[in-house]
Structure 1
């Protein structure tokens, strides 16, 4: 009898230590795959109904909600709230050019690696595996035109991939739905002497993920976050979340970052460093990829 009472108390305690919250638009349409970052740590992702169950300890914390199609919003205390609303991002009027009384969108200017006309790659290239958890990748984007464009968004193409489980039988298992797993990204200035990543543009890394029906994860900078493309270029950095964070969010594996073959005159160069060496770790050119004329399919888009 005592055991039954104890079990009942534990069950009731567990139920009341969590709260179900729904994330919707202002028109009350549920928002799927919204990422909730609690005290700078990714903790929850909404389901197909826009719902998420939050631990009581997090209800009074600072919660940032990020979704590619909606404006960023921070909530500081949601203890007494059952529904949180996000505002949809709207195209700015200046992105529409009116010519002879007709409307047409301006073509978005972007900067991507220059793909080789002979983009024939070995198996698993083009469907490349995840970045090693011990490494952080950086891609150098030069500002060859020395234009003062405003960086508005970042695209990282992701994919599922195969992992060889047995060398003798060459049996491989596919990491299905890995392309939807989140990753961390940031921007770095360029060291004027050594031409390696120097200082972070943003103190905290962004966490982004590929959405259903897309082939890429996208970072859409807010108006406050947008910045001018430096004349000496910029670095984009990518790394995985921790295993603990992936487990917390319900993901089994990090995403594969799509690899492409590039032309000899490609100027978007990959670098890497080892994470166990800390923030002062030396950045090095990723010679393994450079010699094979490969790089990651990552690009920057500018504000019109």
Structure 2
């Protein structure tokens, strides 16, 4: 179902305030974790599958009934649970859904990714099983403009989630999960422009995509909005049949209708045949 334009205006105010709070948190956030262990242990296929299933089970237990959002009150319960920022407003993107982000984990990444200030700090560990930075929700509404950033389209159901981490070229994130290079893509540096919530990419100059750390050049971007650096990004999608969750840029397990998504996710290039190093468990 959709909601009225009057209530939509209330949502507009709420969303802009939430986004502003997220920007403030990102400007003050700093990473607290120490350097990651430099000696990774490879994951077997079985260990990787078990890790994805554990991640799913922990998250679903944490969400409980919030796997489905039927009204604004339930969305506010999700905010209280820690996913407080609708990073693209109420826009539902095709293949991805409507996104809700954890502002604390976001601030840890942004706080250690400011060019010439904090970008040289060790990457904070932000990847924990059952604690994704982003949740993806599929709208089940039968009508309405899914590209409207201020009008929610209830009900929603959980389609997947994403773990994100500070981007270090060629080095996978520290994690208590068993993920490897097939799971980790790059989320391009850019700005979630306010008040439209449009995503604008701001890639650094480089010979191949993914070779530069992509740290933030400014916390007050032009146009104004919520900035973020280049990040590691692992998208994980529920299998409706209950099987092992699937990792891919967009949900290719079950369709998600919505607005056309921007080309902001890709697998890094320019590392030749050398395997990525890092911490797959």
- Give the TM-score normalised by structure 2: 0.23
Q: Per chain length, whose mean CA-contact separation is higher, i.e. which structure has more relative contact order (CA < 8 Å, sep 6+)?
A: 2
Structure with more of its chain in strand, by fraction = 1
Structure with more of its chain in helix, by fraction = 2
